């Protein structure tokens, strides 16, 4: 038996018996304390005055506990003329929601409706890709790009 295996066999930790569900519950109660709203564009509506279809009202797919966290500082993206590039974010954030929340899709909008930090309320983010999943997930992670680049104050 290796030293590492022997050590693990005799090691007793306070987390024995702690399930992923229990960890998820703790995170939801202690970390996901803001209220976030995820919306997606509604069905287009025909405007008879212009003869054009216009975006319909957004549809809320989730409003509940969540948290928006920075994912590093603003980045610099170099775009070479004529070269394909991934739609990289310059203002990267992550949205954390409970696992039972609906999965956000690329192009959805995330807003913070209630938060301990008043500067977060009213900001909006664009979902960059479908919410992630994992075998050992305790929260859902969704990558975002901030839409609002200024504060509401003057």
> In this predicted model, which residue has the larger pLDDT, 104 or 71?
104
Structure tokens at 47: 């405007």
Q: What is the pLDDT of residues 28-51, one digit of tens each?
A: 888 899 999 999 999 999 999 999
**Which structural domain range is residue 98 located in?**
16-44+51-146
Q: What is the pLDDT of residues 138-147, one digit of tens each?
A: 899 999 998 8
Q: Look at residue 105 and tell me whether its pLDDT is greater than 50.
A: yes
pLDDT at position 12: 47
Nearest to 98 by CA among 39, 26, 146, 41: 26
Tell whether 71 is covered by a domain.
yes
Tell whether 5 is covered by a domain.
no
Tell whether 8 is covered by a domain.
no
Tell whether 7 is covered by a domain.
no
What is the chain's mean pLDDT, rounded? Answer: 81
């Amino acid at each position: 038996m290796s030293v590492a295996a022997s050590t693990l066999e005799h090691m007793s930790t306070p987390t024995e018996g702690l399930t992923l569900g229990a960890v998820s519950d703790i995170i939801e109660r202690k970390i996901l304390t803001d209220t976030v709203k995820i919306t997606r564009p509604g069905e287009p509506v025909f405007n008879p005055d212009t003869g054009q279809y216009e975006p319909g009202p957004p549809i809320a797919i989730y409003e509940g506990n969540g948290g928006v966290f920075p994912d590093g500082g603003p980045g610099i993206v170099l775009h070479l003329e004529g070269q394909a590039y991934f739609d990289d974010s310059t203002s990267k954030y992550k949205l954390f929601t409970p696992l039972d929340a609906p999965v956000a899709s690329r192009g959805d909008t995330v807003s913070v409706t209630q938060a301990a930090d008043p500067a977060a309320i009213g900001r909006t983010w664009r979902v960059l890709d479908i919410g992630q999943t994992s075998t050992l997930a305790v929260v859902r992670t969704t990558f975002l790009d901030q839409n609002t680049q200024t504060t509401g104050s003057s």
